[in-house]
Chain A
Amino acid sequence: SQQGEEDPQALSIQEGENATMNCSYKTSINNLQWYRQNSGRGLVHLILIRSNEREKHSGRLRVTLDTSKKSSSLLITASRAADTASYFCATLTSGTYKYIFGTGTRLKVLA
């Protein structure tokens, strides 16, 4: 399977704490993206990092990319109850238009 792996599979934290989730992938990529999915809904794009970038910030989100290890991490700072959702990484495979998704991390933020 080409599917990437994410860990942890599930994460439960208190409001105000930081949440870190990791993603590993298998192929050479053009970019890596993170998405959020509320239960039973479509996915919403959060942030994109290109293969020649190492770190990117957007509001309370910080993404890192290590192409030598084929891994990425998503940090959500000062988490809120509204951040409760599943988070997925997706990679755009080099030379293709295929977006391959990871297995996801279910984040629960307790108020």
Chain B
Amino acid sequence: SQTIHQWPATLVQPVGSPLSLECTVEGTSNPNLYWYRQAAGRGLQLLFYSVGIGQISSEVPQNLSASRPQDRQFILSSKKLLLSDSGFYLCAWSVPGGGELFFGEGSRLTVL
């Protein structure tokens, strides 16, 4: 069966520090991969998605970036965090044809 792992679950970072959130999927090949951000009590904002290794589509230009170094690995990064980067970050995957999204448990980021 397929599983998705996302880490770390919680982190507190100072303004200006770097960020790396990692997501891996098991039990499937060539998944579409997604990063979303959710502000407190709000909906999900699509940040990045990828349909293959090295293929990244950016939806929200900002100081975040994403990379897909392996088929089932998706990384969200920042060189210098801003206060506005605080939020709940969710990784998700779907089959290549587009069906339901399977979500990780999320990473809660607080920037101080």
- Which residues of A are in contact with B by a Cβ distance under 8 Å? 3, 6, 30-31, 33, 35, 40-45, 48, 88, 90, 92, 97-104, 106
Contacts and interface: CB of A to CB of B under 8 A. Distances in A.
Contacts of A35: 101
Interface SS of chain A: strand
Contact of B32 (A40, A44, A97, A102): A97
Given A92-B98, A98-B59, A42 B46 contact: no
B61 interface: no
B98 A97 contact: yes
A44 to B, nearest CB: 7
Contacts of A104: 42-43
Nearest to A47: B100
A6 B42 CA distance: 11
Interface stretch (B64-72, B77-85, B103-111): B103-111
B101 A45 contact: yes
21 contacts: A3-B45, A6-B43, A30-B98, A40-B88, A40-B106, A41-B106, A42-B90, A42-B104, A43-B44, A43-B92, A45-B101, A97-B32, A97-B49, A97-B51, A98-B46, A98-B49, A98-B57, A99-B34, A100-B46, A101-B45, A104-B43
Interface of B: 32, 34, 36, 41-46, 49, 51, 57, 59, 88, 90, 92, 94, 98-106, 108
A101 B59 CA distance: 13
A88 B46 contact: no
B45 A42 contact: no
Contacts of A31: 98
B98 A45 contact: no
A62 to B, nearest CB: 18
Contact of B100 (A6, A42, A48, A98): A48
A44 B100 CA distance: 9
Q: Which of A6, A30, A43, A106 gathers most chain B CB within 10 Å? A: A43
